[in-house]
Amino acid sequence: MILKRPFFWLILVISGLFVYLPLRGHDVPLREDLVLVAIAIILASNLNLMIGYTGYVNFGHIVFYGLGGYIGFYLTSERGWNLALAALAAGVAVSLFALLFGLGILRLRGAYFALATIGILEAVRAFVANFNPWGRSTGMYLSFEAYKVLGGAQRALWTDYYFIIFVMALSLILSLRIKISKFGLGLFAIRENEDAAAVLGVNTTVYKAVVYSVSAFLPAVAGVLMFYKNGMIDPFVAFEFMLSLEGIVMLMLGGQGSVTGAALGAGMYERLRSTLLTSPKLSDFHLVIAGGLLLIVVLFAPGGLIGWLYRLVPRSQKVIE
Amino acid sequence: MSGIFASMLDGLLIGSIYGLAAMGLSLIWGVMNVINLTHGAMIALGMFGTYLLYSALTTSPYLLLLPIIGGGLILGIVVYWIAIHWVIGRPMLMSLLSTFAINMMIIGTGTALWSTSPYNVNFSLPGLTIGEYTFTGNHIAAASAAVVIALALQLFLSKTRPGKAIRAVTDNREAAELMGISSTTVLALAFGMGIALAAASGALVSTLFPFTILSGAVYQLKSFVVTVLAGLGKPFGALVAGMLLGLLEGVVTPFIAVSWIPLIEFALFVVVLVAFPKGIFGKAAS
Amino acid sequence: MTALLEIRDVSKRFGGLLAVSHVSFSLNEGEILGLIGPNGAGKTTLFNVVNGIHKSDGGSITFNGHDITRISPYKVVQLGLARTHQIVQPLTNMSVLENVTVGACFGREQLGLHAAQAVAREVLEQVGLQDRADTLARFLTIAGKKRLEVARALAARPKLLLLDEVLAGLNPTEVAQMIELVRGIRNRGIGVLMIEHLMQAVMSLSDRIVVLNFGQKLAEGRPEEVANNPQVIEAYLGDSNIAEKLTERN
């Protein structure tokens, strides 16, 4: 029962803090900092379902975020849809897209699968850059009507923020729920030895397709909310390959396979990134430092922070999910 | 009709550079089952290396290929020892990430040094006119250089001892070691050669188009497409597949806006990956 | 009585090599059937065909009334036919208990997580691994890994168990323990089809034996019959007179 897990309550407490702290002082800069962390956590923890749980490295994960962003943007800005409904619709649409393509590319193993995910990301970006209704390579700007529905830009952005925190909490709870379920056990078996898992009775084709599809849903919703907040979208910011890779870096840093690892890695990396990008001297070196960090983790601590903790204190595995 | 024909031939020429670049990727992948994510950055370094040498020495960029290839070889061996050697036996994700880390560091440094404004190597060879078709001299020279390098690689692999050692290790690393071949030396050499090929293709591109430190990314993606089309372990197959890709681009460009080409290429890429796991021509790595 | 497993005219070709050639035999409920033959005779390939990893080129396989000729491996175990591998395939970074729980969750009874864990603990007691329940599978000895393979298969509550060289790599004590384990499995009403090279073990355990050579069935019958079959002796067991011949010369 998930309610018995202390970690579940920790998720609720942290989400509560994410809502309360900026709200208390009406602190917009803090909110903006936290929203980036929240988005990173959403992306990393859903990516973890594929990489950490199932052992399939998805290099094109950001395509779900971007595609969701575009669908949601189009529905709210051009069609006047309610934000929540648009987010839901985008999530469902992108999950179906993932299911469809997943059934094709999940036959591939290892690096071939990773490359195929890059192919899909690039193909979708190229398509969107040519797609008229979505503004082709210039993209779209949010019509101001879209904010008016939620009470004007200022209030809309706060509501949007709460929504994002809600999605963050959902992502973490979903990760936890899957981890302690039979479905999760099947995924871990696939990760450890896919052929043995099949012989043991796991319907690997269906399991992989389902987790791929599920891992697309919340990032798509997050995409809707984030681009709504930003007020604009174009193929380059929506389908940034670097963001996809940074998701993997976050998982490596924090420790792939654990819920805490994904969240911690996302949080730490996002803070590092923001600090570097806003410092006048260091912003050029953001990539160099991030690259160096990644190299050190890969060479010396491939289990990431949580992996290191698990080895140091084996009993921590029971509490820190 | 003549427009398409000219476009196709030109595409074939440019495609030979795609092939050269892909050879670098394919060699490393085939020999040590590592997908080199520094490939694009190394192509860009080849571009900048040529620019710097050309600015300093003003000799023909085609002569500069020699130091570029030499430099690439050395740089590749260094990178092998920093990032690749330690992750050879481990899951492929590790080498993907270690090479990507190096890539990030190169791109970061390059952006700091050279920003994102375009650079140029201002060197033009006179064009060649046959009947009603005119071909840019640089395109012909670049294609010729690519083919020459490819042939040299093929000869190296089939006739020289180190080359044969590389093929042995590609086939079966354990067996090669049992035969007394130091696989570490071979892997370092192969990686160095892969980087040298990438740098060489970058050098050739620098004579054709303006470039920035980010320009290598496009060629890296094309290299993936070409490698997957050709299958692994066949460097010459990569050259041919590259030319085919260039040809395809040449055929399509007169009819469709350039912006559709990436979509066609990537859709093709995914389809080939799923439908032909061994490449259209060749064998897949384990 | 109808057979539990019926293999009829099954063949398997890999390119130019005919690994299994028109093999037919059946296995009855509660029976231990030994499958022997030289290396490369096609025994493991036959297992792979039965279990759905390879598709047979012709012929049919019926298990417990179901036609399993063309079905996927995951469905085969759900019908009650479990197998172990010649080269052990543990789920490396999962614990012994988790490994066996997977077997119980996705096997014939399709149990939920908690019920499966209970079954897993029961099975671990049966094979003697209960003290290693929380050890990661990769830290087990080879004997432990072999017992884990068997435990995982048993957790699926099979009606038939395919054992592929489960005694290989074990020392005499471990072999004796494993033999007892296999007898215990049969005594609980589970049929066993076992590939083995250890002749003494196969002869003493099996109710009947099938001999394969070059992909074809060479002989079938009770252990004593097969052991004295001249073709079997020539192909696999060795010339029964050679010992005499050697001692004569000296």
SS3 per-residue string spanning B139-191: HHHHHHHHHHHHHHHHHHHHHCHHHHHHHHHHHCHHHHHHCCCCHHHHHHHHH
User: Stretch B245-265: mean pLDDT, rounded?
Assistant: 87
Q: Do A119 and B273 touch (CB under 8 A)?
A: yes
User: Stretch B262-278: mean pLDDT, rounded?
Assistant: 85
Residue A283 has pLDDT above 80, yes or no: no
Q: How confident is the model at residue A74 (pLDDT cuts 50, 70, 90)?
A: very high
Chain B residue numbers with beta carbons less than 8 Å from the beta carbon of A111 are: 35, 92, 96
Rounded to the nearest angstrom, the minimum Cα separation between A166 and chain B is 31
Check if the beta carbon of residue A309 is closer than 8 Å to that of residue B130: no
Structural domains in chain B, sorted by start: 2-275 (1.10.3470)
Residue A4 has pLDDT above 70, yes or no: yes
Rounded to the nearest angstrom, the minimum Cα separation between A206 and chain C is 11
Question: Does B256 contact A at CB distance below 8 Å?
Answer: no
pLDDT above 70: percentage of residues in chain B: 95
Pick among A51, A107, A115, A194 to test the B interface (most B CBs inside 10 A): A115
Q: Do C106 and A204 touch (CB under 8 A)?
A: no
The whole-chain average pLDDT of chain A stands at 91
- Least CA distance to A178: which residue of chain C? C113
Contacts for C79 with CB less than 8 Å, ≥ 6 apart? C63, C64, C66, C68, C108
> Phi then psi for A102, rounded to 5 degrees?
-60, -45
Tell me the pTM.
0.90
Domain boundaries of chain A, sorted by first residue: 2-240
Pairing of strands C191-195, C160-164: parallel
A269 vs A273: CA distance, rounded Å: 6
Find the DSSP H helices in A54-203: 62-73, 83-105, 110-128, 145-148, 152-179, 182-192, 194-199
Rounded to the nearest angstrom, the minimum Cα separation between A194 and chain B is 15
Chain B residue numbers with beta carbons less than 8 Å from the beta carbon of A294 are: 97-98, 100-101, 104
User: Stretch C93-98: mean pLDDT, rounded?
Assistant: 94
Name the CA radius of gyration of chain B, rounded.
Answer: 18
Residue C166 has pLDDT above 80, yes or no: yes
Residue C250 has pLDDT above 50, yes or no: no
Q: Report helix, strand and coil shares of chain A as percent, to nearest 5.
A: 80, 0, 20
Contacts for A66 with CB less than 8 Å, ≥ 6 apart? A124, A125, A128, A223, A235, A238, A239, A240
Chain A residue numbers with beta carbons less than 8 Å from the beta carbon of B102 are: 291, 295
Q: Which of A185, A196, A201 sits opposite C107 (nearest CB)?
A: A201
Q: Do C77 and A203 touch (CB under 8 A)?
A: no
Closest by CA to C91, choosing from C33, C152, C34, is C152
Question: Does A96 contact B at CB distance below 8 Å?
Answer: no
Q: Do A108 and B93 touch (CB under 8 A)?
A: no
Pick among C47, C76, C78, C89 to test the A interface (most A CBs inside 10 A): C89
pLDDT of residue A148: 83
Q: Do B105 and A119 touch (CB under 8 A)?
A: no
C160 vs C186: CA distance, rounded Å: 9
The whole-chain average pLDDT of chain C stands at 90
Structural domains in chain C, sorted by start: 5-80+158-249 (3.40.50.300), 87-156 (no CATH)
Residue B261 has pLDDT above 80, yes or no: yes
Q: Which of A57, A130, A287 sits opposite B93 (nearest CB)?
A: A57
pLDDT tens digit string along B100-131?
Answer: 999 999 999 998 888 888 988 888 877 777 77
Cβ pairs A/B, distance under 8 A = 119
pLDDT above 90: percentage of residues in chain A: 66
What are the CA-CA distances from residue B224 to residues A105, A124, B41, C85 (Å)?
16, 17, 14, 37
Chain B residue numbers with beta carbons less than 8 Å from the beta carbon of A138 are: none
Burial track C26-56 (b if 16+ CB lie within 10 A, e otherwise): bbeebbbbbbbbbeebbbbbbbbbbbbbbeb
Residue B41 has pLDDT above 60, yes or no: yes
Element (H, E) at A140: strand A140-141
Q: Do A197 and C152 touch (CB under 8 A)?
A: no
- HSE (CB half, 13 Å, CA atoms) of A59? 21
pLDDT of residue C3: 87
Among the residue ranges B24-28, B92-96, C60-64, the one predicted with the least confidence is: B92-96
pLDDT tens digit string along B191-233?
Answer: 999 999 999 999 999 989 999 998 999 999 899 989 888 877 6
pLDDT above 70: percentage of residues in chain C: 95
3-state secondary structure of A181: coil
Amino acid sitting at position A174:
L
Give me the sheet containing C5-14, strands edge to edge.
C17-27, C5-14, C60-63, C66-67
Q: Do A111 and B266 touch (CB under 8 A)?
A: no
Q: Do C102 and A189 touch (CB under 8 A)?
A: yes
pLDDT of residue B285: 42
Rounded to the nearest angstrom, the minimum Cα separation between A253 and chain C is 20
Rounded to the nearest angstrom, the minimum Cα separation between A107 and chain C is 15
pLDDT of residue B284: 44
Among the residue ranges A158-167, A281-290, A299-308, C32-41, the one predicted with the least confidence is: A281-290
Chain C residue numbers with beta carbons less than 8 Å from the beta carbon of A189 are: 91, 94, 102
Query: In which region does residue C36 sit, left (phi positive, over 0), alpha (psi from -120 to 50) or beta (all else)?
Result: beta
Chain A residue numbers with beta carbons less than 8 Å from the beta carbon of B263 are: 123, 126-127, 130
Question: Does C102 contact A at CB distance below 8 Å?
Answer: yes
Amino acid sitting at position C63:
F
Check if the beta carbon of residue A60 is closer than 8 Å to that of residue B273: no
Q: Which of C89, C113, C156 sits opposite A196 (nearest CB)?
A: C89
> Phi then psi for C33, rounded to 5 degrees?
-110, 120
Q: Do C98 and A185 touch (CB under 8 A)?
A: yes
Cβ pairs A/C, distance under 8 A = 70
pLDDT of residue B286: 37
Q: How confident is the model at residue C235 (pLDDT cuts 50, 70, 90)?
A: confident
pLDDT tens digit string along B144-181?
Answer: 899 999 899 988 988 998 888 888 888 888 888 888 88
Pick among A194, A287, A297, A300 to test the B interface (most B CBs inside 10 A): A287
- Least CA distance to A126: which residue of chain B? B263
User: Stretch C207-215: mean pLDDT, rounded?
Assistant: 92
pLDDT tens digit string along B62-83?
Answer: 888 999 999 999 999 999 999 9
pLDDT above 70: percentage of residues in chain A: 99
Interface of C with A in 141-170 (CB under 8 A): 152, 156
Q: Do A196 and C91 touch (CB under 8 A)?
A: yes
Closest by CA to A45, choosing from A91, A11, A94, A92, is A11
Asked whether B and C share 3 or more beta-carbon pairs under 8 angstroms, the answer is no
A236 vs B278, higher pLDDT: A236
pLDDT of residue C232: 84
Those chains having 3 or more beta-carbon pairs within 8 angstroms of chain A are B, C
Rounded to the nearest angstrom, the minimum Cα separation between B267 and chain A is 6
Check if the beta carbon of residue B149 is closer than 8 Å to that of residue B156: no
C178 DSSP β-pair partners: none
Those chains having 3 or more beta-carbon pairs within 8 angstroms of chain C are A
pLDDT of residue A282: 73
